[in-house]
C-alpha cells in the first residue's frame, strides 16, 4: 500500500474496532469531520469502498476488512519497532478473545498471573467461537481460545485442554450416586440448555437424537453461570464440560457416550513473531495442559 500514510491506517484501525465515527473520533482525539476525511482519503487511495451503511449500522466491506487487517498488522509492527528503539516506555496490550467457558475455567489462572506480573498487558474480548475466529482473522485479536468442532485451515490452531462432557445435577438427583452415565440414562429429563443456535446445544441435540433419547427443555440459559444457577435452583439438569467445578449442592457425573471437548488456541501464522504473544500461548499451554 505504497503512498498511504501510517496515520490514515492507524485511524482506520481504530474506526474498524468501533464502526462508529463518533466513538472512533473520540478515541483518536480528533473531530468527526477530520476522521471522515481521513477515511475518505484512504478509500480513494485504495480505490475501493471500505465500509457501507446497513440500516443504522456501519459495516466493513470485504476490502475494508482486508485493509483493517493490514492496518492492525502495521500498527503492531510499528509498535514493536519503537519498543526495540525504546522510544515508548509501554507496550500495546495483547488482545485475547474467548467465551464464557474458556475465560472462567481454562484461562482464569493464566490471566490472573499475567496481569499480576504485567498490569495492563492484556485486553480481553468476550466472544462466541465464530466471533473469536473472525477477531483473530481480521487482526482484532492476537490470540483466541475456544472449543472447536471444525478446525479452520487459514489459522494456526493447537489444543490447549481437553475435558469429558459431564452431567451436572443436584446432589439428591436420581443419578447423583452413579460413577458414570450414558445418554440413555437421561431419558425423560428436563434440561437446562443454551439457546438453539449455540454449538454446544446443536451438538447435544444431535447426540440425543442419534441415541433416540427423549428429553425436555426446562429453560434456555445464556452462559454457564446462569445455567449452573438454574440447576442449583432445581429447574433441571444440564450437560457441561468437565472443567466446570460444581457449586455446593451440585455434582458432576461423566457421560460415557459423549465425545470429549477440546479447547484450541488460534492465531495467524505471523502473530508469534511478537514474542509476547508466543509467551502468552506458552503460558496457556502450560497452565491448561490437555489431559
Predicted local confidence at residue 70, as pLDDT: 85
Predicted local confidence at residue 100, as pLDDT: 84
CA distance 225 to 187: 25
Helices (H), the chain: 6-18, 21-28, 32-46, 62-84, 100-101, 108-117, 129-138, 199-210, 224-232, 275-287
Q: DSSP letters along 70-98, please?
A: HHHHHHHHHHHHHHHTT-SSS-PPEEEEE
Predicted local confidence at residue 87, as pLDDT: 43
φ/ψ (deg, to 5) at 12:
-70, -35
pLDDT tens-digit profile, the chain (291 residues): 445 667 788 888 889 988 999 999 898 888 888 888 888 888 888 888 999 989 888 999 998 898 888 888 877 777 766 665 554 434 578 999 998 889 988 999 999 999 999 898 999 999 988 889 999 998 889 999 999 888 998 899 999 999 999 999 999 999 998 999 999 999 999 999 999 878 788 889 999 999 999 999 999 998 888 999 999 999 999 999 988 888 899 999 999 999 999 999 999 988 888 889 999 999 998 887 544
Predicted local confidence at residue 83, as pLDDT: 64
Partner residues linked to 255 by β-bridges: 181
Predicted local confidence at residue 289, as pLDDT: 54
Q: Please report the domains of the chain, with CATH numbers, ordered by start residue.
A: 6-84 (1.10.10.10), 94-150+270-287 (3.40.190.10), 165-259 (3.40.190.10)
Predicted local confidence at residue 80, as pLDDT: 66
DSSP structure class, residue 271: G
Structure pTM? 0.67
Q: Are residues 50 and 67 in contact, defined by beta-carbon separation less than 8 angstroms? A: yes
Which residue, among 122, 119, 107, 157, has the nearest Cα to 137 in the 3D structure?
157
Which residue, among 121, 115, 117, has the nearest Cα to 95 in the 3D structure?
121
Amino acid at each position: 500500500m505504497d503512498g498511504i500514510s501510517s496515520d490514515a491506517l492507524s485511524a482506520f484501525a481504530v474506526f474498524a474496532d468501533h464502526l462508529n465515527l463518533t466513538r472512533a473520533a473520540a478515541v483518536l482525539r480528533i473531530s468527526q469531520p477530520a476522521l471522515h476525511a481521513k477515511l475518505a482519503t484512504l478509500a480513494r487511495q485504495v480505490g475501493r469502498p471500505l465500509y457501507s451503511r446497513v440500516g443504522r449500522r456501519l459495516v466493513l466491506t470485504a476490502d475494508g476488512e482486508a485493509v483493517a487487517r493490514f492496518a492492525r498488522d502495521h500498527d503492531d509492527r510499528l509498535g514493536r519497532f519503537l519498543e526495540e528503539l525504546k522510544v515508548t516506555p509501554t507496550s500495546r496490550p495483547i488482545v485475547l478473545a474467548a467465551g464464557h467457558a474458556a475465560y472462567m475455567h481454562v484461562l482464569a489462572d493464566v490471566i490472573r498471573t499475567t496481569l499480576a506480573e504485567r498490569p495492563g498487558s492484556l485486553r480481553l474480548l468476550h466472544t462466541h467461537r465464530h466471533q473469536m475466529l473472525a477477531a483473530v482473522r481480521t487482526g482484532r485479536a492476537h490470540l483466541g481460545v475456544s472449543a472447536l468442532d471444525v478446525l479452520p485451515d487459514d489459522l494456526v490452531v493447537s489444543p490447549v485442554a481437553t475435558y469429558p462432557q459431564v452431567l451436572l445435577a443436584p446432589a439428591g438427583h436420581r443419578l447423583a450416586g452413579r460413577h458414570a452415565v450414558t445418554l440413555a440414562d437421561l431419558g425423560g429429563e428436563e434440561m437446562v440448555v443454551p439457546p438453539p443456535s449455540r454449538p454446544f446445544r446443536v451438538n447435544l441435540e444431535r447426540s440425543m437424537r442419534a441415541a433416540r433419547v427423549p428429553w425436555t427443555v426446562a429453560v434456555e440459559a445464556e452462559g454457564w453461570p446462569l445455567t449452573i444457577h438454574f440447576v442449583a435452583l432445581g429447574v433441571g439438569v444440564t450437560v457441561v464440560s468437565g472443567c466446570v467445578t460444581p457449586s455446593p449442592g451440585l455434582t458432576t457425573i461423566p457421560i460415557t457416550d459423549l465425545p470429549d471437548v477440546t479447547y484450541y488456541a488460534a492465531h495467524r501464522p505471523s502473530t508469534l513473531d511478537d514474542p509476547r504473544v508466543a509467551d502468552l500461548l506458552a503460558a496457556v499451554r502450560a497452565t491448561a495442559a490437555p489431559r
